[in-house]
Structure 1
Amino acid sequence: MGEHFTICRPNPTTTMLNFLVLVLVVLQMNAPSMGQLCGGTLTSSGGEVTSHGFPNFYLHNQDCTWVIEARGGRASVTFLDFELEQPAGGAFGTCRYDYVEILSSGESIGTYCGNMNPGSASSDDRIEVRFVSDATFDARGFRFTYKVQGAIEEPSCGGILNDTSGVVTSPGYPGEYDNFLDCTWTLPATGVPVTVTFTDFQTETSFTGLTTCLYDWVDMYEDGTQLGRWCGTEKPDDVTSTKSLRIRFRSDGSVGDRGFRFVYEYRQPDETTTSSPSKLPELEPTQIPSEETTSK
C-alpha cells in the first residue's frame, strides 16, 4: 500500500483574523496613549509637576515639554523623585528609550533615564523639561518643583486711549524705564482725525553704524501698516489720521533711558485754535513803504 499524505490548507478566515489581530496590536503599541495632553508653559511663580499617573506607571508614547520663562528673573527646577525605564546596555548605557532632557536657553544640559535623578538646574532665560517615552516598558515617573525668582511683573502700561485728548509717558518718565517692557497704546478710529505728537524722546541707541533699532524702540502703526521704528534721540514724526493708530514700545534686558512723552488729540478739521502766525504775511510791492516814508 502506498503512503497517504493529508495536505492541511489554512482556513482563509482564520488567517485573516490572525492578521487583523496582529495589525491591531502593532497599531496599539505605536498609537499615542490617553493623556497625551501634557507639558506647556508654566506661568506661575512656582509649583510642582509630575508625569502622568505618578507615582504609578506613566503612559507610553509621550513627548511632553514644560517651559519655565525667567521673565527677567531666574528660573529653576528641582527633581524630587525620578524613575524611568533603565537605559540601553544597563546602568551605564545610553538613554534611548524613555528619558528626560533638560534644556537651558534652548541648549541641552543633560539627558536622564533609569534612576539618574537630574537634580537641579537654573537659567536667567528659559528652562525646558522634555519627557519622552517609547511604546514598551514604563516606571514610576518623576516629580519636580519649579520657581521663578525676581521676575518682572507685567508692565502697567499700554491700553486703549478713549479720551478726546491726553498725555502718555513711558513707565517711570522722566526717570529711567525698566527692562523687558512691551507696551502698546491704541487710538481707535472714531471718524474724527487724531493727532499724535512726541514732545520728548530718548531711548537706548544702537551702536554707531547700525541703521536698525536693535535694543529699545518705538513702533507706530496706522490701521496695521507700520509707519516706522524709532530709537535713540530720533523723535517720531507727528501723525494725523482718521484710521486706528497703534504705538508700541519695547525694551530689552539691559540699559534704559529717560523714555518718551507724547500728546494726542481728537479734533474735527474745523476746530482750529487762534494763534499768532508763524511769520508775517508778505507785502505786495505797492504796499512796501519807501525809504523816504520810513525816514520821517
Structure 2
Amino acid sequence: MEMEFSRKRRRSFTTLEKCLIFLFVALTGVSIGLIVAYVTERKSSAGGGGDAVTDSGCGNPQKLTEPSGEFTSKDYPSSYDNGDSCSWHITVSPDKVIHLWFEDFSLEETDLCSSDFITVQDNLGIIGKYCGRTKPKPLVSLGNSLMVYFNTNDQGIDKGFKARYNAVAPESIAEITGAGGHLQGSNGELQSPGFPVQNYENAALYQWRITVPAGEQVRLTFSSFDLVPDNCGDYVDVYDSAHLGKG
C-alpha cells in the first residue's frame, strides 16, 4: 500500500488537468489585472481635483469663468478645418459685464455670413453674426454671461481668429463702445453717438439696460428716430426685464 501511494504522488498531470490549471491561472490573472487597473484609475481621478474639462470643439476649454481670458479657432494661427463646430460659454461675477473683442479675425467671406461665421449671444438672444476679414467692433454684454459659437462649412478655410475678454463694471460700457450702459432712476435719456450732429457708425452695437425703483414701470418714448430703412438693416430692439436673466 505504501508503494502504491508513492506512485500516485509522483503521477504527472494529464493534458486535461494542465489545461484546466492554465485556464484557472489565466482567469485569475485577468481578474487581478482588472482590479488593479480600476483602483489605479480611481486614484488618478481623485488626484485630479475636479471634473474633466469640456472641450470647446476647437481644442481649448468650453467654459471660461476667469475675470479675463482668451480663446481661438482650432489650430490658430494656422488654418481651421472644414466642418468645425465650436462653442464657448463665458461667465463672470454677477456684478460685472463682459467686454469681448477680437485681436485677429480672418474667416471665409460670404453674403449674409452663410459659410464660416461666428455668432455671439447673450441672455436676450443673438447679438451679432460675423465673418470675413474685418474685425468686429468691441462689444459689451448687458449681463454676466456670453455664448460664442463658431461654425464652418465643408468648402473654403482661412486663418481663423483670436478673441479676448475682460470682466468690467457696467459703468464702463459707454466708454468702450461709444454709447450704451446701465441707466438707473425714475427718468433719463439715451441717444446714439454723435446725435444729432453726426451719423452713427456702420456695424455698431449699442445696448442700454434701464432700471427703475421697485413698484415703477418703464415708459420709453422716442423724440427723434431716423435709421436706414432698407429691410431694417439698422434697427432698435426693446425687451422687458423678464427676458434678461443671469448666466
TM over 0.5: no
- Shorter-chain TM-score: which interval? 0.3 to 0.5
Greater helix proportion = 2
Greater strand proportion = 1
TM-score (norm 1): 0.36
